[in-house]
Structure 1
Amino acid sequence: MSQGTNPSQQDETQVLGQLFAGLLTGQSSCPVHEECDSGCSSRIGVRRYRLMPNGERQEEGDERARLAANTTKNAVPERTQPLVIGDNVPIFQHSPLTRPGSQIRLLKVKRGFLRADPVDCELIHFDINNAPPYGALSYCWGPPPDNIKFLCNGSVFYGRASLERSLKRLRAGFRPGQREDYIWADAICINQQDLVEKDAQIRLMEHIYSGAATVYVDLGDVEGQTVSVGGAALRFPAMGGMGVQDALTHSDDLEHPLHYLTAFQALTQPWFTRTWIIQELTLAKNVKYMFGGNVFTQKHLDSMLSKESIVSHPERQRKLMSSNAVMRGYMNCQKLQRIKSQTGKMDSLELIQLTRDFGVTNAEDKIFGLFALLSDADREAIGPYSRATEQVYRRFAALQVRRGRTIRMLDSARLQRRHGEVKNLPSWVPDWTAQGKSPKVISTLRPTPYSASGAAQAQIQFIGDMTGSGGISVRCLAMDTIETVAHVHTAPLLPSGQPDFLVFHDKFRAAFDELIRQRKSVYRNNEEAFARALLMDDMYTGRNAIMHSSPITDPAATYRSALTAWRERRSEGGLGGRKMDAVQTYQMQARTAAVGRGFATTGSGYIGLMPPCAQVGDLIIVILGATVPYVVRKAQDGYVLVGDAFVYGLMYGEALQRKLQPVDIVLV
């Protein structure tokens, strides 16, 4: 720990020490034996107690003595070396499921003596409707290779280190009778090399996870992580395994700092960012989390993260808003709760857009990782499991067109959201691996939607077959062309880690001033037009107001004050749960709206914020039924969708007032 901490930092460091004391004593405290009688020299002496907010210790006891009293006399085996799987042991082969659409395999994990003992298990076939009570394991697969040896039915199964860690935590963390005898773990219970079986089992996952008596979520541990507090830094070693439940579930005092700090630390774990866990958690009827020696329930986690709990504790708001990793986990938890509380099944497009920031290793799993939450009709339309990502994404996009969701889908499509990994996608088909990229989706940027096409209804048709092999035809109003566009693709980072907004502003302002110099602007009040364009016309009034913001009642004056604050490098505020004034609100919104976009002027004298790949000569259109304009580019067989746009003066139905004749264009 570094030196020179001030009193307030020492206070917080003490709180962190209390937090991770729970993690350290949550083990069985013996790094060698999984079931130790406290008699061996490796056992760490532990005194356990409830630390109250006033510093008083309650229910203090000698953990070592308690374990010794509750363990049989000869619990520590005489064997001192871990078991080794010999090179002559045959390789495990999955026995085929005779009915893969109605059968599952379940694991029976044998108890371990030493922590280093390999996982030894039996794999047994069951009809899913007649299976014994079982638990299901949810964890992060992590990267290959599959080079860890497991014993499975007496043969060697090669799996990943993440599976071994998860099964060992499950093996050590619960004594006989504390969990189900059988466990379902996808990496070993599904023959991953048999795509026909894998497709059938993926379609069974709704039944598997909803039918499990408990879903055990392995969040991993804090090995190697560093927590900084002012001038102090805490780095945590490997924890050595699981043990009995610690003070996290022992205490019922929700004011105890251990609770919310442990929950916040858990939120930073990779598990909360993965697509496959969405269905695993939201279908579960009973959840137990394993984290760094702790075992806690979904109910306990929810009590820490409820809106009421966060709002009523300012220190929790400050802690939450001071860490991007914690905030990301918190927001993902809110999404999971929304899905879980849904009456009936969420439509497939809403579901994938809501979870677009969750990651996958294989691109096709952005679709198949949500299969258990889709309707039977949608699963049928998407077709069998396949690693041909382009085909999977095209089938999913065609499904959305048939369901009447084309306009909403286009928010996730276009050139500005493309990854190099997924090639040959039509521009109207979303690349679901690239949805976390900047910039923000304009149509959902604020609570009150824009209305660029007024009350006009969408008119969409397939070209070619019902998968849109020749593209899709959209009826639209061709509004204008881009005459100039100023892009900022990189900007220096400030100490806050944010890109320097002045780099964006100065380049955008120069382009706007040139438009005025040429007397091409269509606006009566140019300063107000520019000020509102940087905000995408969101001034945080009425329904668009949010917690901690202030209304921007005079955009031009607030813009000038914000510009002065930027140039003087004054803090933008908005952190730690403090209320922002109008200038800070302006700065926050301008950064959200403008960073990552280009600034364009049009042939008719409009200004707007454009996709980062927009070019001079691109066409600005308003698709009937859409809330925002789009930029398209002429191609050989039609038009390529470049992306969504904000054009000041064309966001509230003004296009319909110009009496333009609608045209049909083909997006390819």
Structure 2
Amino acid sequence: MAKLVRDKLHADERRSRQHETLGQVWWKRLWVIQEFGVARRTPTVCVGPHTISWDFLKERLWSNGEWHLFHDLRDQQQPQSLRNFLLNTANAFYCTEPRDWIYALLGLVDDVNKPTPDYSKPVSEVYEEAMVYLVKAERTIDVLLDDRNERAWSYPSWVPRFSEMRDPMAIRTQDRFRAGYDQPIVDLVSHPAPEVLCPCSTHHALSLRAIPFDNVKQKVDMRKLSKATSVLKEALKQFDIDFQQPRRHLVDRAPHIGYLMLEFIFAGKLSVLKTFEHAREELGGIAGVSWVPKMHFPEQLAAEFKFDYNREVKLDMAVATTFEDDFRKVFRSKHGEKRRFKNKYGEYTVQHSQQDRVYFSTESGYAGLGPGSLDIGDSIIVPFGASRPLVVRGHGDHFVLVGDAVVPGIMSGQLVDLHRDGTLQDGVFLLK
């Protein structure tokens, strides 16, 4: 019986997709989420001329993963947020009215502070209000991030494409970054569309309080890097960092090539820190690196580029040396392709999901990994409430969001600590 029902439903779906005049089947419409979720009585499902109770249907289709969305709508014990619906539910459905990406889900959100549906507002304003609400409700800037590399589209750069919003774990990563730990400070303010070239003509801007960190000085040629005999040496060469200059920020400025290499390879799906723990065990104990085979070359690099060659740097460069070939393989992989690696630190399965990420260095001598669309002169800021630094680009009297970055040395809230003791000041950034 269950197989017959599944076959019938799948046949209806295929016919619907092949013939637009038939329309989408009922359970593929976005509004069905609200209709189904808030129904006072147990819904009845119609299959052709037949009617089946939802309880009967779910018991026989529970093994099919596509029905988990509906199961959760009726059986969820804890109230879900708008963000959870956008991340976990909405992308499986369709709608022709763009405002419904928000309004069709709000009815399921139990929050007196949620936006009130108003179809007279421009679509961009509906999205802006929804994202500001999400930032405040979720207490994190991370809800603004998605998997795009290019953010030039008809809506503000800080409004994500709902079909490309990241899974929360992909944003916070396995290592739980907390670069801007604290409560986010945001607001939607009036800001007339500027005369200077801007991707969006909205008359609002996101007012965002953040700690300015640095500006991009160099953008690494990743193709050249992947073809180099030594990824370590080529990266240091392209970073062009003067490690002898005084530190503007009182935080660690070691090159961290190995860490950034793993960030690129793992793409937030595996823990870089756990890999380093395995490396410590392999290389001579948790307290530090007591023995590293064939490490004379990295020591020569430290002397050539004039940076301290301490235990942590030694460990980092040992990891980089081990993963050089893996880095090349992942870089050359197609999006979504899985690669399996095995080395002395463990076994890894990585699905290449980087949307054109690149290494960069900053004016103050820090190295990082950011979106491929970043450019020289872009600013690195740490907003309050963000797990990662953001890359923003100036456009006259405002900024546009380029994407998020990883900059070793500031990922654990070091800048917020300096702000709290009065060493660093924050500022207001207007994003459009």
TM-score (norm 1): 0.44
**Structure 1 residue 374: deviation in Å?**
2.9
Q: Given that residues 217 and 376 in structure 2 are in contact (C-alpha distance below 8 angstroms), is that contact kept between their aligned partners in structure 1? A: yes
Aligned mates of 2:327, 2:426 — CA distance in 1: 44
Matched, 1:588 2:350: yes
1:540 to 226, 248, 271: 271
Aligned AA (2:362): T
Residue 17 of structure 2 aligns to a residue whose secondary structure is: coil
Structure 1, gaps ≥5 residues long: 1-21, 28-136, 147-159, 164-184, 191-197, 219-241, 244-283, 289-296, 306-329, 489-501
Residue 562 of structure 1 aligns to a residue whose secondary structure is: helix
Matched, 1:392 2:222: no
Residue 142 of structure 2 aligns to a residue whose secondary structure is: helix
The change in CA–CA distance for 1:384 and 1:566 in structure 2 (over 3 A counts) is closer
Matched, 1:211 2:41: yes
Greater Rg, structure 1 or structure 2? 1
- Alignment-derived partner of residue 17 in structure 2: 142
- Kindly provide the CA deviation profile for residues 223-273 of structure 1, in whole angstroms up to 9, marking residues without a partner as x: xxxxxxxxxxxxxxxxxxx99xxxxxxxxxxxxxxxxxxxxxxxxxxxxxx
Q: State how 1:504-523 maps to structure 2 within 5 Å.
A: 505-506=226-227, 512-515=235-238, 519-520=242-243, 523=253
Aligned AA (2:54): N
Matched, 1:383 2:110: no
1:634 to 386, 394, 411: 394
Structure 2, gaps ≥5 residues long: 192-201, 245-251, 281-314
Q: Given that residues 419 and 434 in structure 1 are in contact (C-alpha distance below 8 angstroms), is that contact kept between their aligned partners in structure 2? A: no
Compute the RMSD of aligned alpha carbons: 5.0
Q: Given that residues 131 and 144 in structure 2 are in contact (C-alpha distance below 8 angstroms), is that contact kept between their aligned partners in structure 1? A: no
- Kindly provide the CA deviation profile for residues 197-247 of structure 1, in whole angstroms up to 9, marking residues without a partner as x: x9xx989725775535433579xxxxxxxxxxxxxxxxxxxxxxx99xxxx
- Alignment-derived partner of residue 562 in structure 1: 323
- Alignment-derived partner of residue 661 in structure 1: 425
Q: Given that residues 539 and 552 in structure 1 are in contact (C-alpha distance below 8 angstroms), is that contact kept between their aligned partners in structure 2? A: no
Q: Given that residues 348 and 378 in structure 1 are in contact (C-alpha distance below 8 angstroms), is that contact kept between their aligned partners in structure 2? A: no
Q: Given that residues 398 and 430 in structure 2 are in contact (C-alpha distance below 8 angstroms), is that contact kept between their aligned partners in structure 1? A: yes
The change in CA–CA distance for 1:551 and 1:383 in structure 2 (over 3 A counts) is same
Aligned mates of 1:369, 1:138 — CA distance in 2: 22
Matched, 1:607 2:342: no
**Structure 1 residue 608: deviation in Å?**
1.3
Q: State how 1:82-121 maps to structure 2 within 5 Å.
A: none
The change in CA–CA distance for 1:646 and 1:404 in structure 2 (over 3 A counts) is same
The percent identity for this pair of structures is 20
More helix as a share of residues? 2
Matched, 1:450 2:177: yes
- Alignment-derived partner of residue 350 in structure 1: 84
- Kindly provide the CA deviation profile for residues 50-103 of structure 1, in whole angstroms up to 9, marking residues without a partner as x: xxxxxxxxxxxxxxxxxxxxxxxxxxxxxxxxxxxxxxxxxxxxxxxxxxxxxx
Residue 457 of structure 1 aligns to a residue whose secondary structure is: coil
Aligned AA (1:662): D
**Structure 1 residue 615: deviation in Å?**
1.0
- Kindly provide the CA deviation profile for residues 593-614 of structure 1, in whole angstroms up to 9, marking residues without a partner as x: x552122111112111112321
Aligned AA (1:560): T
Aligned length: 361
The change in CA–CA distance for 1:657 and 1:141 in structure 2 (over 3 A counts) is same
TM-score (norm 2): 0.64
Matched, 1:478 2:212: yes
Aligned mates of 2:135, 2:144 — CA distance in 1: 10
Aligned AA (2:171): S
**Structure 1 residue 484: deviation in Å?**
1.4
Q: Given that residues 179 and 386 in structure 2 are in contact (C-alpha distance below 8 angstroms), is that contact kept between their aligned partners in structure 1? A: yes
Aligned AA (2:380): I
**Structure 1 residue 384: deviation in Å?**
4.2
The change in CA–CA distance for 1:398 and 1:474 in structure 2 (over 3 A counts) is closer
Q: State how 1:9-20 maps to structure 2 within 5 Å.
A: none
RCO higher in 1 or 2 (8 Å CA, sep ≥ 6)? 2
Aligned mates of 2:73, 2:215 — CA distance in 1: 41
The change in CA–CA distance for 1:378 and 1:513 in structure 2 (over 3 A counts) is same
Aligned AA (2:87): Q
The change in CA–CA distance for 1:510 and 1:285 in structure 2 (over 3 A counts) is farther
- Kindly provide the CA deviation profile for residues 380-436 of structure 1, in whole angstroms up to 9, marking residues without a partner as x: x241457953343233224335646461322249x746485xx2x222322324437
Q: Given that residues 173 and 271 in structure 2 are in contact (C-alpha distance below 8 angstroms), is that contact kept between their aligned partners in structure 1? A: no
Aligned mates of 1:411, 1:657 — CA distance in 2: 24
Residue 393 of structure 1 aligns to a residue whose secondary structure is: helix
Residue 604 of structure 1 aligns to a residue whose secondary structure is: coil
